Amino acid sequence: MKERPNSLAQIVGQAIFQRRRALGMSQEELAEKIGIGQQSLSRMEQGKTAPRFERLQNLADALDCRVVDLFAEPQESADFYAASLAELFSALSDEQRVFVHRQAAQLIHFLRDHEKN
């Protein structure tokens, strides 16, 4: 979900997606906690359907947030980026992981050094 949401269903869906990922929870786990199917949750996260009003509190409880947090414009947190990178990283071979880790570390050091100037 990279595009900026433009409907309420998309805003809520992206908030659910980001919060779930930040908590390291799978769609299956969250769906089970709130009593719906994984496909229903997937459609919610994609902004194709909106959660029913009475389900919002269940979602907030399962995601350890307030209902109002599900309506805020999503902001990608460090946890979101870390989870996203971890998922990409897991698809690599050991050799590729070492290479990517070195490159990322060098880039981070470079950016930090140049940010100070």
Coil, helix or strand at residue 35: coil
Q: What is the pLDDT at residue 7?
A: 85
Mean pLDDT by 10 residues, the chain (117 residues): 67 92 93 96 93 93 93 71 82 94 91 76
pTM assigned to the model? 0.61
Q: What is the pLDDT at residue 84?
A: 77
Q: Which residues have C-beta within 8 Å of that of residue 68, sequence separation ≥ 6?
A: none
Cα(45)–Cα(14) distance, integer angstroms: 6
